[in-house]
Amino acid sequence: MTDLTHSLTTRHLNLWYGSFQALIDVTVDIRHGQITSLIGPSGCGKTTLLRCFNRVNERYGSVTTQGEIRILGRNIYDPDVSLVELRKSVGMVFQRPNPLPLSVRENVLFGLRIHSERGALKPDALEAAVEQALTEVGLWEDLKDRLDHPAIRLQLEQQQKLCIARLLPLKPDVILMDEPCSALDVNGTKAIEELMFKLKGRYTIVIVTHNMAQARRVSDECVFMLMGKLLEHRPTVDLFLNPAHPKTAEYIEGRYG
C-alpha cells in the first residue's frame, strides 16, 4: 500500500565509500509537500543522504548501499527502476548555479527535450513550458525578452532560479537542494528562500544547509545527523526550542560543527 503522507522513506539505510561507512542505519520519513532540512556538522552524512535519493552517489564508484529507499511508495533500488525516470522525478539543485552554456530558453527545455521523443513536442507547447517554468520561479518578467541570451551571463541569483526552472517542465515530485544559497549574497539568499516557500506544497523539498538561521526560517521539519547517524528528526520549531538529544542542542547552539 502506497504511503501518501510521505514522499520519501528510508529503512535501515547504510552506505560505504570503499571501506568507510558514511551512513549508518538511517531510517527516516519525509513528508509530502513540505520543506525538510538536513543539518549537522561537515562530514556527518547529510549530503550523502541527499544524493541517495536520486542515486547520484553511484556515479562516484566504490559505493556500496544496503537498505531501502522508497519514493512515492516504490523502492528505488528495485532492479527494474530506471535511473533516467528516477532523476526525472527527483530533481537536484547544487551549491553553485550550473546553467548550461546555452540560451535561457534551451536551459529550461533541456530536460524536456531529453525525455521526449523527437518531434513529439510542438513549438507552441515548448514556448508554453518555458513561460510556465520561468513564471513559477519569478523570472519571466525579467527574462521574457532575453530568452535567446546566454544563461551564463545572468546574475548568480537568476542562474540558480534558472537551474530550478530547468527541473519544472519534467514535473518532478521531489526537489533536492544541496546548499543552494552558499554562493549567493543576502538578497540572493532571500530570493531563493522565498521561491522555496512558493514551490512547497506542489513539490517535496529536501535541503542540505549549514546555515542554522536558514534551516529555522525555511523548513517545516529538520533532520539532525552526526557521524553518519540520524540522531533526531522533528518539526523545526520543536528541534530548535526543545531538542531531544544533547548533541543536537550543542550543535544548534554553536558549540561545535
Number of compact structural domains in the chain: 1
pLDDT (tens digit, 9 = 90+) per residue, 114-126?
887 776 778 899 9
The answer to the question of residue 15 being in a domain is yes
| Residue 181 pLDDT level (bands cut at 50, 70, 90) | very high
The answer to the question of residue 24 being in a domain is yes
3 state SS of 202: coil
The answer to the question of residue 154 being in a domain is no
The answer to the question of residue 149 being in a domain is no
pLDDT (tens digit, 9 = 90+) per residue, 18-31?
999 999 999 999 99
CB within 8 Å of 114: residues ≥ 6 apart: none
| Residue 256 pLDDT level (bands cut at 50, 70, 90) | low
Look up the CATH number of the domain holding residue 195: 3.40.50.300
For residue 72, is pLDDT > 80? no
pTM for this prediction: 0.93
The answer to the question of residue 234 being in a domain is yes
Per-residue pLDDT, 116: 75
Mean pLDDT value across the chain: 93
Per-residue pLDDT, 1: 42
Q: Which residue do the cell numbers 562530514 mark? A: 43
Q: Which residue do the cell numbers 509537500 mark? A: 33
Beta-ladder partners of 69: 10
The answer to the question of residue 236 being in a domain is yes
The answer to the question of residue 233 being in a domain is yes
Range of the domain at 25: 6-98+173-252
The answer to the question of residue 45 being in a domain is yes
Question: What is the number of alpha carbons within 13 Å of residue 41 lying toward its C-beta?
Answer: 12
CB within 8 Å of 246: residues ≥ 6 apart: none
- The closest alpha carbon to 225, from 13, 41, 28, belongs to 41
